[in-house]
Structure 1
């Protein structure tokens, strides 16, 4: 139980104050343990931060994989749209995790930057494999125009990243009509 409490409190503090602004002593204080007790679960602050980062990425990929199994009979357009909406809902319903990821990727601790980037790219590879299959199927069924699959995947990631950032600017309550409009234009480019 304590390990999960440490992770939950750490997520909240890292999200609010960033890596540099979060001290292990403050985490321990809020969990109600002594600082040395954290070392029973994590080697150091880096280990804790990286653990959170990787778990959040893995959780999202697992959710997408499970979701894709549930929607496997839909058209490629519906699959891509549903994955996009599901990803948006994940970020909307897990605002702390989304903010943590955003902060870690945009303002990473300098000494962890390469590790975070490698971890993110591994996660993106898993997501890319899912998207690759959908794009191939869509092209084969003539639902999606011919194009280099890697470029289509890259465009889809840019779409998600853009929406991810827009949550910060416009708030989650204002995003639904924007996402619909963005999707319609994106799909027009894919199917045209």
Structure 2
């Protein structure tokens, strides 16, 4: 691994653990095994390193998603591959900071910090979610055109809902110690598909037929003055 890549990995690790303010270039240099001035050969300051780190995270996960959906040919597998990429990427970030593989990190906190502090990152994070929404929207349209995904579902609303479902799982896994996203991932995929696929379209209940014991007459009203 090149010195630049080791700097980036150390920076991402420390930004995730300590945030922007409490991360120092001296700490990063110490972890990499270089002197602090050596970092300036690659990045002019901490701000540039932070911006590069966030872009590196988003660029990497986007490329992973693009590569993964090229390997499958059904809308179901495409959706599954997107979220498999997101889980695996998140789990690898957990390993980077020394956490257990099965304990995802709350990267949304870092995104929130990034977009509030740097306008360029605010736009980049918006572009990432636009990418997710557009990618999922296209998959939904493919599924609807192939009669695999229900056409009564609004494609744009469904795309946002799917993203929210998954982001919600990540959030829950970071605050609820008994919840392990990796143990339920397949059942989540399967249940999500059941809700949106044509294989399980909603069938309205049949009208209840009047049986032998069905009282066909109108019920009698009881006067409040009736003596019991």
Settle same-fold status: TM greater than 0.5: yes
1:100 and 1:34 mapped to 2: Cα distance?
Answer: 31
Show CA shifts across 1:112-163 (max 9, x none).
2x33221111122233332222111111122212233221110111122112
Q: CA RMSD in A?
A: 2.5
Counterpart in 2 of 1:91?
90
Structure 1 residues not aligned, in runs of 5+: none
Q: Which has the larger radius of gyration?
A: 2
Give the number of equivalent residue pairs: 189
Q: In the alignment, is the contact (CA less than 8 A) between 1:20 and 1:109 conserved in 2?
A: no
Give SS of 1:70's match: coil
134, 157, 170: which one aligns with 1:129: 134
TM-score, with normalisation over the residues of structure 2? 0.72
Structure that is richer in helix per residue: 1
Counterpart in 1 of 2:224?
none
2:178 and 2:80 mapped to 1: Cα distance?
Answer: 18
TM-score, with normalisation over the residues of structure 1? 0.84
Q: In the alignment, is the contact (CA less than 8 A) between 1:81 and 1:183 conserved in 2?
A: yes
Instruction: Return the offset for 1:62.
Output: 0.6
Structure 2 residues not aligned, in runs of 5+: 98-103, 202-228
Per mean C-alpha deviation after superposition, the further-off stretch among 102-111 and 131-140 is 102-111
Distance of aligned partners of 1:109 and 1:28 in 2 relative to their CA distance in 1, 3 Å threshold: farther
Counterpart in 2 of 1:164?
170
1:26 paired with 2:32, answer no
